[in-house]
Structures are given as structure tokens and as C-alpha cells.
A and B are shown apart, each in its own frame.
Chain A
Amino acid sequence: MTALEPSTTPGSSAPGGLAKSVVALDRVVIRLAGDSGDGMQLTGNRFTSETASFGNDLSTLPNFPAEIRAPTGTLPGVSSFQLHFADHDIMTPGDAPDVLVAMNPAALRANLGDLPGGGLVIADSDEFTPRNLAKVGYATNPLEDGSLDGWQVVAVPLTSMTLEALKDTGLGKKEAERSKNMFTLGLLSWMYHRPTEGTVRFLERQFRRKPEIAAANIAAFRAGYNYGETTEAFAVSYEIKPAPMAPGRYRNISGNQALALGLVAAGQRAGLPVFLGAYPITPASDILHELSRHKSFGVRTFQAEDEIAGIGSALGASFGGALGVTTTSGPGVSLKSEALGLAVMTELPLVVVDVQRGGPSTGLPTKTEQSDLLQAMFGRNGEAPLPVIAPRSPGDCFDAALEAARIALKYRTPVMLLSDGYLANGAEPWAVPDVEDLPDLSVDFATEPNGATADGTPEFLPYLRDPQTLARPWAVPGTAGMQHRIGGLEKADKSGNISYDPANHDLMTRLRQAKVDGIAADIPATDVDDPTGSARVAVIGWGSTYGPIGAACRRIRRSGREVAQIHLRHISPFPADLGDVLRRYDRVVCPEMNLGQLALLLRARYLVDVQSHTQVRGLPFRAAELAAVVQDVIDSTTPTASTGGTQ
């Protein structure tokens, strides 16, 4: 390892030549846990950035309560951040941590159950006071009573050491204490040989208007680093080599960030102004925040009075020629369904982003779930089909946003993009694309009449469809001679006038469905990951389960079994060959973070006996658990000699 020390600070070398060994690891899972006010998310994000710039592959899982500040020191107030980083390609934030940093007794109590025996606990011993212990029901101090004997425990007075490090800064005790997360980050940075310049730069940038706070945080960060280097409490530091990655330029990115950038890119590649109408909602608000910073790209963001106005304004902007976008979570989609119907009827481009969270109703605002799929598919009155797509990883949210915009603009339809809380807040390294390689999304506005009246006068028929795509022409207000009226009442074919004619309604209903179905010809065939090509069992998923399912499939293959992984980007319509692909397998397993919504669609559509495996714990699947489930299916399907069938 080279150049990992922070800039030279007096006392940074180990006194007395303390011998420290370095252990090489291929992967580590660290979980930082503390009070919601302890800055665990910030600490986690900084450690992630350091790790990303070091070149490890990584995956993160922030997990925090819906309350901004639950009562201090209580179990409901615990906020955590899990980071998995490795010297190889990884797909999940890790099933269980190897290291748990507990900033108080509540954090220990809430997270210890997930830490396998022998795992490392680093605890802030200053916070293990009788009062704090009592708050979470510890009768005695677990750091001292032997109850943690099954784990390695390093009790460190993080708070008092932070105060000591900052005693000359003139900051009050309360203010100085707040830097203990940076002390902790410094300690971890030493333990795992993380580069530190990025964090110093970040702190200088973040607190540029409060230089004394910046200085205090940097001092605490360095003190933590130096403490690691000098203390006897930590005899070992760890080295995790960079992961081999395809050549290119990388950055660390979260799902919400990637989605927002994808929308900006879509507007640029379409040559259209982006208009976002949105109402704040967890976990989607960060997309609104991010897009509101990109006005220089012609992006207009409108914080509406409610979810309905969010989609309404976006649809109004689409009528005017913008790429209309609205972002929300499930409860917001409920409110938007009426306007979604109008978007289906008026056949205007619109991107609707649903960052799913636990439901129903207010549900679990900060936890992840995939339970809005059927709402996206069918949650409107009447036959109101629309395309539904889903990203598979945080970085993939960028491509999914571009694809949603592509379909919306080409087919003049609302498109539902289903992200979720795990993708939204999770982060991973992302290969920065070249702008020239992004798809061309340019559109043709209608500028002249496309029909004629009985007497031969040219006229504009707003519902005369493109024979290939079945999309209707998009003539924006201001275009000469193209005045027309659209709305929610049934349209007469071609003219778009109000029509109550039975045959016309039947025709239009089928045309709207055919338009969406026809998109199947414009999307890639089903992507099947089956290295041997002879698997008898396939696992199919969609959305953020890609990582855990992929990791489970790798485990299964390492055990000598064969399994195929199919992960869907497009759910409405499905890829044209999906039915044939599924029928090739003896068994199809569908893990979902709902009660079997994709499985229901697949079974209904293809009459394939899809086996649903579900979980709604507000957390991603654990790869090991998924692997066990699929392995059972494989072993009960193919009594192969190598593994010994169970039946």
C-alpha cells in the first residue's frame, strides 16, 4: 500500500515502533450503526467514496428510520449504513456484516443479531452509560459483562478521544462531540488503508462557509486515523486490493443520482426541455433535489402542491413539447392514477418514476419493497395499458431513465419506471458513459396536416397513427394550422373528436393495447445468463433483486450445480420470446420483495408453473438464503450425481 497516510501530522508515526501486521482480505462487509443524529449516513457515504476511489468494487445498503430524529439512544432511532467492498466483482451489500461499529448501546442491540459469531464489534465505550444502557433494556454493560464473548470486541472511547483531539479548537462540547463520526471514519480509514484526501477535500467543500467546523472535522478525522496507527487496541490493519474492472472512467453513484442524470441526458439527447413536476416523498425526493440543480440544461423543476399537480403539470408541459416527468413513491402513484389514465388517453409522452417503498398506505417510507408492480400495470380505471420498466442496480437507473424516455417519446405514452428504496439510496461504481454513445432520442413534431376533409381541404388528424409504432402525431401549441383538442373522453379514430360510438371504443381500446404490446418488437430478446447452457432451473426476477439473485446463482454454480438467471428490464410489454424461454426450463423460480406479483403475471400470460419465493421485510434478499431456496429446487428437479439429489 502506498500514499495512504493523511498529510503529515505530528505524532502520526507509531511510537516505540509498534509492530502492526497487515492482513490481506478479498472482501469485507462493514456496518456503521448509531443514532439518527450521529451522522452514520454521511460517514458511510464518505467511506464509500474513499473505497470507490481506491478501486474496490462495492455495494451499499443505507438503512434508516422514517423519523428524522427519533428520541436519542432508543432502538427506533438507530440508523445504519452497510458497505460491502471487495477485490472482485460483487453484486450485493452483503448478507451479514463482518464488522459492526456501534456508536451507542441501541446500535449494538439493534444490529448484533446480524453479526455472525467471531465478528468484530467496535463500540464507543463513552456512550455505554447506565442511562443509555437502561434505555434499550441492558441490565448490565455488554462490553463488560461477558455477553459478547462470542465476538471480538474493541471498546474505544470515541467520544472522549474526539473531545480531546478538539480541545484547542474553541468549539463547545456539544459541537465538538458531533465530530466523533469523523474520528470513527478516520479510524476505519486506517484499518482498511483507505485514501483520505477525498474526505479532507469533501469536508473543506462542505463547510467552506464555516472553516472552523471544517477544521474540527478534519482534525477529528486525522486523530482517528492516527489513533488506529498508534493504539495497541488494533494490532492489525487490512488490505483489500482494487477489483479488476473494465478499462474506463468510473465514479461512485446512487440510484436516485443516476436516475436524475439519466433524465437530464434524455432531455439532451431528445433535444427537448425536461419538465419535472413533483411533490416531496421518501424515497424519491432526492431526484427532485438533483434535477433542481441542473437548470443550465434547460431542466425545469416544479415542486407542486400535491402529487396530482405533480403529474398534471408534467402532462401539461408534455402537451407543450417538453419531456414531462413526475417522480414519486407508491402512495403518490395512487394519487396520480387518474392523471395517468388521462396520459394514456391523450397519448402524450410522460415518464413516471415510482421509487417503491414498503406499503400499503404510508407503509415503510424508508424501507425497500417491490410491491407496486401490479399497481403500475393495472392501477387505473378502464383498460389503460402502459409500458413498465425497471432498473436492476443503482448505476442501471441511468440507462433505465433513458429507456423510459425513449419509449415515452417514440410511442407517445406514459411509461412507468419502477425503482425502489434500495436502488435509490444504494451506491456502486459506475462507468461514466461517453455522451456520444448515448441513444439518439430526437423526435419529430408534426408540422403539417396529415389528412384531408371530404372536399379535399387539408386537415390535421391528431389520432392518425404511425403504421409502425401506432404512435399518434405530436403537434405542439404554437404550430401553425394544427390547432386540435385532446382530452379524457373517448376519441374517434384518426380525428380525435369525441366519440361514443361502440365500434370506435372497441377499436380504440384495442389500438391502445396494441401500441403498448407492439413495443415488444423494439426491445432486446430475453437476456439469459446460463454459462453452461444446460441448466434445468431458471431464476427470474426484476428490479433491485438482480444483485442478490446474481450472487445466489454464483454460489449455486460454485457448488457444481447449474442455474439460469433471467432478469427483466421490460415488464410491460415482456420481451417477445419470454414465454418460449421460460418453457425451456423444468422449473422457474421467481424471487420478489412482494407476495408474488411478477409470478402472477408470468403464470397468467404464459401458463408456466412459476414458483414464487417472496419476502417483504423492507430489506433486500440475502444471497445465501436465496441460494438455499434455489438449490432445493435444483436438487429436487435433477437428481445429478455430483450433488446427490435429495429425492
Chain B
Amino acid sequence: MTTSPHVHDLGMPGTSIDANIQQAIADSVATQGEKQTALKAKDMKTDQEVRWCPGCGDYVILNAVQSFLPSLGIAREDMVIVSGIGCSSRFPYYMNTYGMHSIHGRAPAIATGLAASRPDLSVWVVTGDGDALSIGGNHLIHALRRNVNMTILLFNNRIYGLTKGQYSPTSEVGKVTKSTPMGSLDHPFNPVSLAVGADATFVGRAMDSDRKGLTEVLRQAAEHEGTALVEIYQNCNIFNDGAFDLLKDSSTGPMWTIPLVHGQPLVFGPDGASCVVRDDFGGLRIAETNQVDASEIVVHDATREDPSYAFALSRLSSQDLRYTPMGVFRAVRKPTYDRMMADQLEEARTGSPGDLGALLAGNDTWTVSA
């Protein structure tokens, strides 16, 4: 079976979709014209009224994504956005693509089935810190280790918004919320550490309000073959306002933000006063640039196969967000699950094309004559 010219080729030769699905797509093109890939941000919008709270960081992210996606050159029809439950998970309704607003925490599982059976599609998951890390934690780590071709956008606002303000698995210890009047007791996840620990092949982090930085991480994530996780710090102005001000404020942001640029030394802070060097135990630590030799400063390499470097990077930051690396932590190439699955099917077909009659009869039959 050859891939239809109407199906967007995501650089996955050898995979094919089922003939009837392919035929349906060809029929739709015949009646409605070619799928358009020269798109603008407005083409990505739907007629649905966006219903987040005024001032929510989700608006900023939605605008950035709508502006960025057309640059991928993928038709809207070939994109699917799957979400779970929570404020961020309303995202699909506002995107003029195919979409499924599913159930709490399960979006990575649903997207896995879709992406594994339709390698021709560009599959996105939109989730939040509660959705992905609490109720859906299991699906997230398994999606990451499996490396199915999809991009997961994790909006982290460090709070439960849709249920009106309980602490989340990324809230700092001692968080006072409706459900924790004396302060939360449990230690938060660092989503990047978790993803790297699950052997994710792509892990990045961006800030909702940083259009340029967010777009750059999204671009690299979209181009990555395999599961990409992008943690997006997102302000909830109702229940956790100002959660990321330390990093956003022009006076403190540069001091505590470590920009990650592949191939560049990890130097940051006003006048490049701070830097990242190796510590005595194989990890990383912050140093003052003028106190160390230039050769000691770590040059960022997102392509390191061994995840311990990316993990060490993620551990530099504390719960209060000081020393937060932003950008792409890790981007390594590994075979994708959907590709390998398609290859196994192809290999099986080549070995012995399916003969249903022979399958039903099996190896041992006997015949009763009339």
C-alpha cells in the first residue's frame, strides 16, 4: 500500500494506513479540495467562545500555539489534540483541528492508541499538573518511556483551578489552600525530573508569557520524533496568582533563570555572573563565573544519551523556583513505538500475507462427509 499524496508525510516511510481510511481521506479531498497547509493563526481558531477566566495564562499559550502551528506546514485535518480534564484541557475546543476532550488523566493513553494506529497524524496532548501528574501519572510515565510519536504540553500552574483551588502535585510544601488550611504536607514533583527519570526522549520547559522562548521549545518538540514533553509554567490569576513572578519579573527573572541553549555554556544572571559547573559527585552546581575557570563551565548538550545530565540540570532548581533552567533539557533520537509497531506489521505481512480462511481452519482439521 502506498501512502496517499493527500496524507501528510511525517517522515515515516514504510508506514501505511488502512485502505478504507485512506479512501475516505481521498474521497474528502475529491469533494472538498486539497487540505491546506499554508495557514495563518486565524485558521486555527474555532467558532467556540473561549471560556477561561480573564487574565488566565492559558490565553497566552493558546495564542502562541495558534500562531506557531501553521509554521509546521501540517494541515489542520492531520492534527489531533487530545486532552484530559482541567482548565487546560478545554484547549481542543478552541483549535480548528480534530480533537478529543477526554477524561481525567487519560489523554496520554487515548493519544497513544491514536498515534500508534495512525502514524500519519500529528498528535498532541494538552494536560495540566493535576491531570498529568496526579490522576494520570501512570499514563504519563509510560507514554514517555514508550516513545510514541506525540507532543505533550503540560500546563503547570501548581494549583487545581477547575475544582477551585486545592493544592496540586507541583505545589510547594506548605501551600495553604482550601484543602490544606494549615499548609500542604507532601513534597511536589518536578515534572522535568519525572520525565527524564522515565527516560523521555524530549523534555523542555517554557514560560507562558515568553512567546519567543515558548515558540522555540514548541518548534523543537514538534519536530522531535517520539514523545516530547513540554512543561509550560502557566499563571492561574484566580487561585495561584503570581506563582512564577520570580522568573517573570525583569528584576529577578534573569537572576534565577538558566537559559538552555544547545552548544552554549551555561552562564546566566546579570552580566553572566553565574554559571553551572560539575560538582564532586557527578552532578551539577551553581558557581560564580569569576570564581571558576572557563573550561569548568558546562556546555549544554541536549543530545546526551545518558539522562543523568538532564536530570542533574532539572535538580538545580528549588521549590521556590530559584535557578530554574528554561529551554530544551533533552532531545535524543530513539526509534518510536508507532514506527516499530508498523514495522512489525509490515514484517509479518511480508512473511505470510494474512489468509483468513487458513487462519480459521488452523493446523488440525477433520472433515465429515455427507
Q: Which residues of A are in contact with B by a Cβ distance under 8 Å?
A: 49, 52-53, 55, 198, 245-253, 261, 264-265, 268, 271-273, 275, 277, 294-298, 300, 302, 304-306, 308-309, 312-322, 324, 338-339, 341-342, 346, 432-435, 442-443, 445-449, 476-489, 497-498
Contact = CB atoms under 8 A, between A and B. Distances in A.
Interface stretch (B94-102, B181-189, B265-273): B94-102
B110 A315 contact: yes
22 contacts: A55-B366, A249-B367, A251-B361, A251-B364, A261-B359, A261-B360, A275-B117, A294-B354, A296-B354, A298-B18, A313-B109, A313-B110, A313-B112, A316-B114, A319-B100, A320-B21, A341-B103, A432-B365, A477-B118, A480-B29, A481-B28, A483-B77
A605 to B, nearest CB: 30
Contact of A294 (B17, B96, B357, B359): B359
A319 B345 contact: no
Contacts of B95: 485
Contact of A316 (B17, B33, B83, B110): B110
B341 interface: yes
B364 to A, nearest CB: 6
Contact of A480 (B28, B46, B356): B28
B171 to A, nearest CB: 25
A449 B31 CA distance: 10
Interface in B22-54: 24-25, 27-29, 31-35, 46, 48
Contacts of B365: 249-251, 432
Interface string B83-109: 101000000110111111111101001
Contact of A300 (B27, B28, B99, B345): B345
Contacts of A448: 27-28, 31-32
B113 A277 contact: yes
B77 to A, nearest CB: 5
A478 B366 contact: no
B317 to A, nearest CB: 28
A312 B101 contact: no
Given A338-B106, A488-B102, 14 more contacts: A52-B364, A53-B364, A248-B367, A295-B344, A298-B18, A305-B139, A319-B98, A320-B113, A477-B77, A477-B114, A478-B25, A478-B120, A487-B92, A498-B48
B99 A485 contact: yes
A308 B106 contact: yes
A480 B345 CA distance: 27
Given A312-B139, A445-B24, A447-B27, A483 B76 contact: yes
Contacts of B347: 295
Interface of B: 6-7, 17-21, 24-25, 27-29, 31-35, 46, 48, 75-80, 82-83, 85, 92-93, 95-104, 106, 109-118, 120-121, 138-139, 142, 341, 344-345, 347-349, 351-354, 356-357, 359-362, 364-370
A435 B359 CA distance: 10
Contacts of A52: 364, 366
A247 B369 CA distance: 5
Contacts of A324: 113
Most buried by A among B7, B21, B93: B21
A237 B47 CA distance: 81
Contacts of A305: 109, 138-139, 142
Contact of B368 (A250, A322, A338, A449): A250
Given A297-B356, A435-B357, A314 B120 contact: no
A233 to B, nearest CB: 31
A479 B347 CA distance: 28
A342 B366 contact: no
Contacts of A434: 357
Nearest to A313: B113
Interface core residue of B109, B344, B365 (most chain A CB under 10 Å): B109
A246 B361 CA distance: 17
A487 B17 CA distance: 24
B147 to A, nearest CB: 14
A442 B18 CA distance: 13
Given A320-B114, A483-B96, A478 B7 contact: yes
A297 B359 contact: yes
Contacts of A483: 76-77, 96-99
Contact of B101 (A252, A265, A300, A489): A489
Contact of A447 (B7, B31, B98, B112): B31
A480 B121 contact: no
Given A448-B32, A478-B118, A484-B98, A312 B359 contact: no
Contacts of B357: 434-435
Contacts of A433: 360
User: Which 9 pairs across A and B sit closest by C-beta, in order of nearness?
Assistant: A487-B101, A313-B113, A316-B113, A312-B109, A295-B348, A309-B109, A445-B24, A316-B110, A297-B354
